[in-house]
Copies of this chain bind each other. A is one copy, B any other.
């Protein structure tokens, strides 16, 4: 059963996108929405809080909730959305290659890279994403094999997250991400066919991903061809 506040959130979000509430217009007041949806103010406020967090509206005391006019029609790449889901939103032709699919056990050497304890059984998966015929990204994954069993190359070529969430019914909760610019290695040049020779760095997005019971189950290193990389974010000023 979907919570009521989420239904209201989706309704209002849809109305914003359909221009029922155009950019810079004000939504009905919270009291009006209470009457309109036959619910309590707290429920309305939860729906509006979610719209606010995502950057669709700006709330102002004494005035109302105003629809934000976005400069760039961005879909945030932020917020832990997987590659597969991202590509569905867009209309790119994507081919995935799978140069590495193996199971390993963490050694002292691996430990520093993966941040998993020695002895942990892992899947080690390397995928190359070819987007509209350009070798764009190298995705390297280390995934705990005891928690995520029976991974197959077929699943890796589709969506690992869909398998984790829909088949295993595990809940992915949060990740710590770090974006840096790293020097190109010989292996990078092997995998990213067509990378111009004067490019000396790739943009790296490194993530440690955790389940909702806070167990750390996945380490991902995505290395992007620099001219194909873009990261968008909607950020609110901290209130502290």
Which residues of A are in contact with B by a Cβ distance under 8 Å?
A: 6, 24, 55, 58, 60, 66, 68-72, 74, 78-81, 115, 171-181, 198-201, 203, 208, 210, 212-214, 216, 226-227, 229-239
Contact = CB atoms under 8 A, between A and B. Distances in A.
List the 9 closest pairs (A to B, CB-CB), nearest first: A181-B226, A179-B231, A80-B235, A177-B233, A80-B237, A172-B237, A174-B236, A58-B214, A79-B238
A172 B237 CA distance: 7
A212 B181 contact: no
Contact of A214 (B6, B66, B74, B80): B66
Nearest to A177: B233
Nearest to A70: B176
Contacts of A74: 176, 178
Nearest to A233: B177
B233 A58 contact: no
A173 B58 contact: yes
Nearest to A63: B213
A112 B171 CA distance: 43
B214 A69 contact: yes
Contacts of A213: 60
A55 B80 CA distance: 13
A184 to B, nearest CB: 11
A115 B235 contact: no
Contacts of A176: 55, 70-72, 74, 232-235
